[in-house]
Amino acid sequence: MSIEFIVSEWRAWYSGISEPAEWQSWRNGGITPKENIQADVSFLPAMQRRRLSPLSKAVFNTAYPLLQQRDIPMLCCSVHGEAKRTYALLQDVAKEEDLSPTAFGLSVHNAIVGQLSIAGKVRSPALALAGGDFPLQAGLMEAVGILQEGTKQLLLLFYEEPLPEMYQPSSESPSAICATALLLTKPGEESYGLRASLLPSKGAKVQSAFKAPDYQLPIVRVLLEKSGVVPVGLGWELCINAD
């Protein structure tokens, strides 16, 4: 049994690497992620930019260009979400200080997709998933389920940021902020892009995202190569093929 769909377009941001030429250079070992850099969101009004964290800026940088003139469902999947914002709130609780309602509202797991819906004027359904051990499997399975129910196109997002030091003994920390946006389309005569399928696999080995937190990079690599297989969870793998 295979579940087929189309990756019509995609974008990714990884600590300063964002454009196709930069990703190809990264693939060939010619470029490495930059430190202390934030994604460009100059296309947004200043008031909206001020509310964005470094993580949400990376999400907007990848997702917003794919949303132009599209009112489509959005599905966000992350293991930890706004971990640094949440940690800052917990520190305030420990100090018995008053919490900022705005800061709390921007820290919850669906905050990023909510901000993206507002900025992109998207009225279609938006969903935020906690990715758990296998976020690629969680996000892709949910996405193809939505497509099979009749939705023609949706935007699937993955994103993570380095964890506060206190959390690192219990979970490996992502090496840098990374966000990936996939415009997925139901197969049909008018669909374009890379053919993709989710396939059962008995031999695929995949580590938990708590042990291998840079889980987005293997998918970026096969998208760059326009062909390949990526284990996404226990017993499942993603296969990419160019038309």
Q: What is the pTM of this model?
A: 0.93
**56-103, pLDDT tens digit by residue?**
999 999 999 999 889 999 999 999 998 888 888 888 888 888 888 888
CA pair distance 115, 208, nearest whole angstrom: 29
Q: Element (H or E) spanning 202, and its range?
A: none
- The count of domains in the chain is 1
Give the domain CATH number at 130. 3.40.47.10
Q: Residue type for 109, please? A: H
Instruction: Name the residue range of residue 61's domain.
Output: 3-241
**pLDDT score recorded for residue 42:** 94
Q: Per-residue confidence at 242, pLDDT binned at 50, 70, 90? A: low
First to last CA, the chain: 20
CA pair distance 37, 59, nearest whole angstrom: 14
The per-type count for the chain, helices as H runs and strands as E runs, is 8, 8
Q: Element (H or E) spanning 201, and its range?
A: none
Taking 70 as the threshold, does the pLDDT of residue 221 lie above it? Answer: yes
34 closest CA partner among 177, 221, 216, 224: 177
The 8-class DSSP code of residue 176 comes to S
Q: Residue type for 235, please? A: G
